[in-house]
Structure 1
Amino acid sequence: MKEKYQNIIVGSGLAGLTSALILEKYGSVLLISKAGLQNCATNLAQGGIAAVISPEDNFNSHIQDTLVAGAFHNQIKTVEILVKEGPAAIKWLQQQGVIFDKNPGLEAAHSYRRVMRISDFSGREIEKVLLKKIKQNKNIKVLENCLVRDLLVEKKQCFGVRTTKNIYGDKIILATGGLGQIYVYTTNPKVATGDGVAMAYRAGCQLVDLEFIQFHPTALKDKSSPLFLLSESLRGEGAYLINEKGERFISELAPRDIIARAIVKEQEKGEVYLDIRHRGEKFIKKRFPNIYRELKERGFDLTKEQIPITPAAHYSCGGIKVDNYGRTNIKNLFAFGEVACTGVHGANRLASNSLLEAVVFPRRLGEL
């Protein structure tokens, strides 16, 4: 007997979880995770979700910040959708049970404090709330530690996925995340090996902008894999970037690509460090408790020393070409999150727009 669902979602990051919670209202859902449900980039996301919430902020500013960061390679209409539907996305998360910190944070290349956050590990906390909702939902079946090998496609129409067996579905959603593990130095989890892009390509999907790989400028320079990310929010709260001579060499709130290139240039002459000691031990431990703890476990003290940093592969701005509803050129096949390319990020993603994208566009499934 065929195993069939009305909706099959491949990937358990924020885009996949949002898709599941939207689609369960319209039929049965199978959520497939390559590893454990929490083994994804969302779980590692520290900063938060950028959205125009404060009265002093405005849509035009967020749109312009996104375009400038993306070198104006962005699809403008898609950027407008992302930004203007951002407040509703935040409200939806709050309705699911997410409790954000009272005051939004500031991150590099943002003109205002608009990053909705939960301490300094926002992705993990959002994920916990949505996973709880999913596990309580009888219309959503979860399948962990299951590798999807390929899509079932015939005559440009997708009708299921292939694992160790064929599983059939009316609507297939790819939310498999990025491909950072093709690089030696990356902040991406071990599962980020580009499976979704590869199987979509084999199925006949159009791929775009794969040359635009964002390197986060401030990963901890050590021998771990993936490298531990030192959030943009550290610089938003005043952290300095220091070269081996103890000099600041770049505006700490410049876009990621500009800072990453500046750091690489400085590394030709010596080490580069992040330094937030001047903010004081009390502030650092209160604002960045998780980053402080993680660094202590690795032998570094954020309150007492400069932290060695290096750029690392962080985010794929390109991917499977989709429209503003996640539709690919293959019938019944959708893609959301990092595996997809809506064109919203252009050549370089603005900080904290990725989690926003992972909520805004899957929510639009309810309009189809």
Structure 2
Amino acid sequence: MAEKITTASPAPRDHDVIIVGSGAAGLSAALVLAERLKVLVLAKGTLQSGSTAWAQGGIAAVLDEGDTFEDHIRDTMIAGAGLNRQETVEFVIERAPASIQRLIDLGVPFNREHEDEDSDGQKETAGRDLHLTREGGHSHRRIVHVNDATGWAVQAALLKAAEENPNITLLPGRACIDLVTGRHEEKYSGSGRVWGVYAVNQETGAVETHIARATVMAAGGAGRVYQFSTAPRGATGDGIAMAWRAGARTSNMEMMQFHPTCLYNLEVKNFLITEAVRGEGGRLINPRTGARFMESYDPERLELAPRDIVARAIDSEIKRFGLDYVHLDISHMPAEFVREHFPTIHEKLLGLGIDMTTGPIPVVPAQHYTCGGILIGLDARTDLPGLWAAGECTESGLHGANRLASNSLLECFVFGDAAARDILACWDDLDAPPPIREWDASRVTEADEEVVIKQNWTEIRRFMWNYVGIVRTTKRLERAAHRIALLGQEIEDYYGSFRVSTDLIELRNLHQCAQLIVMSALKRHESRGLHFTLDYPETLEIARDTVLVP
């Protein structure tokens, strides 16, 4: 859809860089940029409502004496089924220890092995002090964590530092619509040069035009395109869809990770049971037979196999035996051990009548992570001049066909930092923004049938779950593509006729991401990692990315 043009008053423009997203990737970039530049951070909801705060497990880094970068690289490549880019994997993993140290410096209270009180009441540590846990696909204990609520602690520390920085402005309640590009300006016509974003002020309903010399997209993944997902409500693929519409390529969008163990509860949705439960001894059991079943699917790694293998195993057990769920059982471990390692999960489950110290947890797979996204390089640059990207909205080459547990937050820190440092390095060569024409709302009206948005949202998420889920076929994918095409014109007509709202923006982006996922899945004629299709069950000898060009 063409941008709407008017001469309305612009939003204040006293910033140098705009960052879309207030999670780990966005705030990591902001803190580095703020050493020299004025930074504006836009958040769709609250500043804490992104995916970062939801992360339970931890952050992977080589810190143990018996571990090596080579081991972590190998584990990442194996989990990613060879689709990873070796240089990216090395780039990220070699920077992991430094990322952990920066978080410690910011005050993240990672769990430690031994803590003693000194004479002043301050905690000091002895020996190798960080407590490391293990998760599926890892050959060593290398997960640093804050109990089972690592993401919340990291988000709090990053946000505190950003709030205290005079060069950072945090602006919540802005739902971004599209990137501002230079295609209307003669000098930049057709170049796709990005100058910022159009965003809805959710309090006033007005569309603001935020302009800057550089823009960093860190808007998270597209998990809510599926009916069942551990992702927060706002994970609607906004950054991926906006970049695609502006002309950026996407890569490997078919690689949607399903977490094996989401709590099965009809009253509570989207509650993740961290992989660390299996890392600390949790067993998967068929509730009908009472047997531990991972021996039939991956006898060597069992419950610690990569997520794609465990998720398919659970899906197979559920379908073969007509189950609603399987059991995850850690009750054979000492009760105090379980409460100490998983206090958040233990308390949440107790409130639902489940005591994980004495009995099993009912679990099912659910969509968890978007491994594909906007194609970026090691400098976090996209195809579009003036646009960098970091975090779950990107495809950097780190995750390949399946993300290794606890590599996600790590990617955010490393590429948030990379984007910021590349912007600083080329700052003097970046043009100042030209005059930008504003958003025109003069020809639109208030929506008369909000039920249309709700209906389309529900329909997309349901057929994506049924047709583009853990196990796929060409026929199912074609059915999904047909429904996407039918909905496309209806959504665009609605978007072009009525005043934009957050719900409408999200529906448009969900639809766009669903289309990209299905297009990518239809192009991959093999089963690799997270993309498993009954029509092409074999894995090809050479791994190739699925790159889509607008």
Normalization by structure 2: what TM-score?
0.66
Q: 2:332 aligns with which of 278, 297, 300?
A: 278
Q: 1:121 aligns with which of 141, 145, 149?
A: 149
After superposition, residues 1-368 of structure 1 pair within 5 angstroms as 2=10, 3-4=12-13, 5-102=15-112, 103-154=131-182, 155-163=191-199, 164-223=207-266, 226-244=269-287, 245-250=289-294, 251-268=302-319, 269=321, 270=323, 271-364=325-418, 365-367=420-422, 368=425
> d(CA) in 2 for partners of 1:241 and 1:298?
20
> d(CA) in 2 for partners of 1:254 and 1:246?
21
- Partner of residue 476, structure 2: none
- Partner of residue 474, structure 2: none
> d(CA) in 1 for partners of 2:53 and 2:384?
30
1:224, CA displacement in angstroms?
Answer: 5.0
1:303, CA displacement in angstroms?
Answer: 1.3
Give a deviation string over 1:128-168, Cα, whole Å, max 9, x none. Answer: 11111111111111111110111001222101110112110
Unaligned runs of 5+ in 2: 1-8, 113-130, 183-190, 200-206, 295-301, 426-550
1:299, CA displacement in angstroms?
Answer: 2.8
Q: Is residue 188–residue 226 contact of structure 1 (8 Å, CA) maintained in 2?
A: no
> d(CA) in 2 for partners of 1:352 and 1:10?
23
User: Secondary structure at 1:188's aligned position in 2?
Assistant: coil
Q: Is residue 82–residue 357 contact of structure 1 (8 Å, CA) maintained in 2?
A: yes
Unaligned runs of 5+ in 1: none
> d(CA) in 2 for partners of 1:327 and 1:54?
33
User: Secondary structure at 2:133's aligned position in 1?
Assistant: coil
> d(CA) in 2 for partners of 1:225 and 1:315?
20
User: Secondary structure at 1:148's aligned position in 2?
Assistant: strand
Mean CA deviation greater in 227-236 or 2-11: 2-11
Supply the AA of the counterpart residue of 1:146.
R
> d(CA) in 2 for partners of 1:281 and 1:83?
35
Supply the AA of the counterpart residue of 2:317.
E
Name the % identity. Answer: 43
> d(CA) in 2 for partners of 1:217 and 1:118?
22
> d(CA) in 2 for partners of 1:193 and 1:225?
20
1:26, CA displacement in angstroms?
Answer: 2.1
Q: Is residue 58–residue 143 contact of structure 2 (8 Å, CA) maintained in 1?
A: yes
Q: Is residue 149–residue 199 contact of structure 1 (8 Å, CA) maintained in 2?
A: yes
> d(CA) in 2 for partners of 1:338 and 1:225?
25
- Kindly indicate which of the two structures has a greater share of residues assigned to strand: 1
> d(CA) in 1 for partners of 2:229 and 2:268?
7
Give a deviation string over 1:94-130, Cα, whole Å, max 9, x none. Answer: 1222231121111111010000111111010111111
User: Secondary structure at 1:187's aligned position in 2?
Assistant: coil
With a CA cutoff of 8 Å and minimum separation of 6, indicate the structure with the bigger relative contact order.
1
Q: Is residue 186–residue 225 contact of structure 1 (8 Å, CA) maintained in 2?
A: no
1:25, CA displacement in angstroms?
Answer: 0.9
**After the TM superposition, which parts of structure 1 deviate over 6 Å for at least 4 consecutive aligned residues?**
none
CA RMSD of aligned residues (A): 1.1
Larger Rg belongs to = 2
1:289, CA displacement in angstroms?
Answer: 0.4
Count, aligned residues = 368
Supply the AA of the counterpart residue of 1:310.
V
> d(CA) in 1 for partners of 2:31 and 2:363?
38
Q: Is residue 185–residue 313 contact of structure 1 (8 Å, CA) maintained in 2?
A: yes
* Structure 1 residues 286 and 187: CA distance shift in structure 2, 3 A: same
> d(CA) in 2 for partners of 1:42 and 1:231?
14
> d(CA) in 2 for partners of 1:275 and 1:178?
30
Normalization by structure 1: what TM-score?
0.98
User: Secondary structure at 1:186's aligned position in 2?
Assistant: coil
Q: Is residue 219–residue 227 contact of structure 1 (8 Å, CA) maintained in 2?
A: yes
